[in-house]
Structure 1
Amino acid sequence: MIVVLLSYKVDIAEIDRLRPAHVDWLKQGVADGRLLLAGRQQPVTGGMFLARGSMDEVKAWAAQDPFALEGAADYAFVEVTPSILAPGLEALAQ
């Protein structure tokens, strides 16, 4: 699985303008089985999501994010293999 950290590169007003399309893209990722979770960083300087797939697959998918298409965020990708999970999160190890 891949942890993706987003860092906003533009004013929050531009992020807010793009957010509805970004949220639609995230929801489609859940429906497709690619996205496991997503959320904003606090303070709101970016976001993060956890995605299934190879590094290349997730990078290609993330490149279609409206934030990426508009150059509004930088992306950092970290591949992880879960080995210790809280009860109820066993599916993340698959």
Structure 2
Amino acid sequence: MFVLELGYTAPLDRVDDLLPAHVEWLDALYDSGMFIASGRKEPRTGGVILAVGERAAVEAAVATDPFVLAGVCAYTVTEFIATKTAAGLAEYRQTPPG
């Protein structure tokens, strides 16, 4: 599982101009099953997405975010092993290697 942390690198008015395209992009990745949760940070300096899949596929998806393409945000991609989850997320539980 991955935590994708977005940090805005441009003023919020530029981010807001791209928000409809970003939401369409999010919707497509929810439909694909890669994204399982997302939302804005408070204060509004970026956002956070929980994603599942192979690292290369997740990083490729991040590269297509309209925010990235327009240069208004930068991502930090952090992989973690979800060994414990709420019952509703049981399908995403993982076993650590070794």
Scaled to the shorter chain, the TM-score interval is over 0.9
Partners of 1:89 and 1:60 in 2: CA distance: 24
Provide the aligned length of Structure 1 versus Structure 2. Answer: 94
| Aligned: 1:25 with 2:25 | yes
Structure 2 CA distance for aligned equivalents of residues 30 and 84 of structure 1: 22
Higher CA-based Rg:
2
Other-structure match for 1:84: 84
**Tell me, what secondary structure is at the counterpart of 1:25?**
helix
Identity %: 38
- Unpaired segments ≥5 residues, structure 1: none
CA distance in 2, matches of 1:91, 1:35: 14
User: Structure 2 regions of 5+ residues with no counterpart?
Assistant: none
TM-score, normalised via structure 2 length: 0.90
- Residue by residue, what CA displacement relative to the aligned partner does 1:16-61 show, whole Å, maximum 9, x if unpaired? 0000000000001011111111100000000010111122111111
SS in structure 1 of the partner of residue 71 of structure 2 = coil
Q: TM-score scaled to structure 1, two decimals?
A: 0.94
Q: The residue matched to 1:13 in structure 2 has which SS?
A: helix
| Runs of 4+ more than 3 Å apart | none
**Contact 1:2 1:54 (C-alpha < 8 Å) held by counterparts:** no
Question: Could you tell me how far 1:89 is from its partner in structure 2?
Answer: 2.1
- Asked if the contact 1:15–1:67 (Cα under 8 Å) also holds between the matched residues in 2, the reply is yes
